[in-house]
Structure 1
Amino acid sequence: MLHHHDDGDVAIITLNRPERRNALSGDLCDMIGEVIHEKEARGSRAIVITGEGTSFCSGADLDGVYGEAFLVSLYGLFNKIMDAKMPVIAAVNGPAIGAGTQLAIACDLRVVDSPAVFGVPTARNGLAVDPWTIRRLAELAGGGAARRLLLGAGQINRDEAHAAGLVDRAGTLQDAVDWAHEIATLAPLSLAYSKTVLNNPERDLDDPTFVDNFEACFNSEDVAEGRLARAEKRKPRFTGK
């Protein structure tokens, strides 16, 4: 159901249920979350999530979607992606429908290939997505696109999603991996701090976690490394310390 491998500092996770167009089951959600935890413990600097075959993720596996356990696993996965210290990039190689769109927007960045479409057809089957999904979709894609997806139960293609802001870069899996390698050279503490603030808009600006992480960046060894690298006219080698 899942393949993963390391490409230097970048971890690549591939949903591997092509016969179900990479639909998410509870077990698969749990497996992805466990791998993300393993990669973070290993010291990966960036993660790319993609799908095997022609689909990124066709949504929730409807054989199990109606149980409470599935929702716990699904939203637990999204929280693990958002709480991970390193940036997570969705390489959307094909349709991302329902939970597939949710998986893509849980990631920090989206690189999207031309066959991709996004859709949230919950109104067609009597289901619903949680408030976080609705607000996150509106934040990333804008209110107009979010309303077309949620209230019209429609779809938007890659180019429409790019124009709306849901797509960060148009490109292939390799483009996503290349970008991940660029990101992997950046200062980990700075990235983790920015991600924490971006993913928690409900917190006050003087939230202790924000303040502590902000100060940790300025007091880190990486600041000294950045200064030294500028003086020596070379690329810095950040360690996240």
Structure 2
Amino acid sequence: MEPELLYGVTDQVATVVLHHPAKRNAMTAAMWAGLPPLLDTLAADPGVRALVLTGAGGTFCAGADISTLQEAPEAPQALAVRAEEALAAFPKPTLAVVRGHCVGGGTQLAAACDLRFAEEGALFGVTPAKLGIVYPSSSTRRLAALVGPATTKYLLFSGELINAERALRTGLVDEVLAAEELDERVPEFTRVLVSRSQLTQAAAKEFANGRTDRDSHWAAQARGSGETAEGVAAFLEGRGPRFTWTV
């Protein structure tokens, strides 16, 4: 089958699947280029309140398809950075669900998501030193924000893979679960995400990502949204809230 990005929306959760099973879901130039417009479409859909990124079969993503680097190594990297930045800028919560290998560009994409859940046995690595490639500065800073400078240097200097337990200790992933538990946990957790206030989530995402000039914007949004009134009323009435504000 041709390499492609598969997607669907169920219960207000968009799922994007990296699909290139012949090469462990390695990203081709076309897949990198296709991700930003797909994310734009899903971001504009009011029926989408969260996004899951995962890989087909038993692996997440083995990185960039190396065959695409032979003629113009800088072009695929630029495409990858644009895809990474588009994922990081997605205005609703994003969750990478990692099984098997998450290497190179796979880790680049996972790090651009808000949260990462991994299956026991998953392996993570950032491998440009094996190819003599300079890892992008924006990607390096994002990785360092997650795992700290020392682990970032370990990963980039060595290109070695680390297991899911070490990824959890360093902050690269948020939860590590057995395969059957991961299958149950993802829909359970995304149901929680879509039930919460998108106003709170959108503001928190901007603030956590370092945006410091939007306090007045979000205060105005909160005043006109009715989210707080609904949340308080739901609490007092002992029911689930029905938040309606959307990005």
With normalisation by structure 1, the TM-score equals 0.91
Query: Are the equivalent residues in 2 in contact too, given 1:40–1:85 (CA < 8 A)?
Result: yes
- Return the letter of the residue paired with 2:55: G
1:3 maps to what in 2? 6
Q: In the alignment, residue 36 of structure 1 is paired with which amino acid?
A: L
Contact 1:93 1:173 survives alignment (8 Å)? no
Q: Secondary structure at the match of 1:234?
A: coil
In the other structure, the counterpart of 2:56 is 52
Unaligned runs of 5+ in 1: none
Provide the rounded CA distance (Å) in 1 between the counterparts of 2:16 and 2:183.
11
Specify the code of the residue in structure 2 equivalent to 1:112.
A
What displacement does 1:151 show? 1.4
Q: 1:57 to 1:63 in 2, by over 3 A?
A: same
Offset, 1:77: 1.2
The answer (yes or no) to whether the contact 1:111–1:175 under 8 Å persists in 2 is no
| Partner secondary structure for residue 149 of structure 1 | helix
What's the counterpart of residue 231 of structure 1? 236
CA distance in 2, matches of 1:173, 1:47: 16
Which of 71, 77, 82 pairs up with 2:83? 77
Aligned residue runs from structure 1 range 20-39, under 5 A: 20-39=23-42
State the 1:213 CA deviation: 2.1
Shift of 1:56: 0.4
Q: How many residue pairs were aligned?
A: 236
CA distance in structure 1 between the partners assigned to 2:5 and 2:183 by the alignment: 16
Residue in structure 2 matching 1:151, options 157, 163, 168:
157
Aligned to 1:220: 225
- Please tell me whether the aligned partners of residues 118 and 157 of structure 1 are also in contact (alpha carbons under 8 angstroms): yes
Identity of matched residues, %? 32
The alpha-carbon deviation at position 67 of structure 1 amounts to 4.3
Q: How many Å separate the matches in 2 of 1:84 and 1:21?
A: 25
* Structure 2 portions without partners, runs of 5+: none
1:191 and 2:194 aligned: no
**CA separation in 2, counterparts of 1:18 and 1:177?**
24
- In structure 1, what residue type is equivalent to 2:9? D
- The letter of the residue matching 2:227 is D
Task: Give the direction of change, closer, same or farther, for the CA distance of 1:149–1:214 in structure 2 (3 Å limit).
Answer: farther
Q: CA deviation at 1:152?
A: 2.0
Match of 1:62 in 2: 66
Deviation track 1:169-196 (CA, whole Å, cap 9, x = no partner) reads 1132442232122111111111111111
- Kindly state the Cα deviation for residue 218 of structure 1 after the two structures are TM-superposed: 4.1
Amino acid at match of 2:82: G
Partner-residue secondary structure (3-state), 1:42 = coil
SS in 2 for 1:49: strand
SS of alignment partner, residue 36 of structure 1: helix
Q: How far apart in 2 are the matches of 1:70 and 1:152?
A: 22
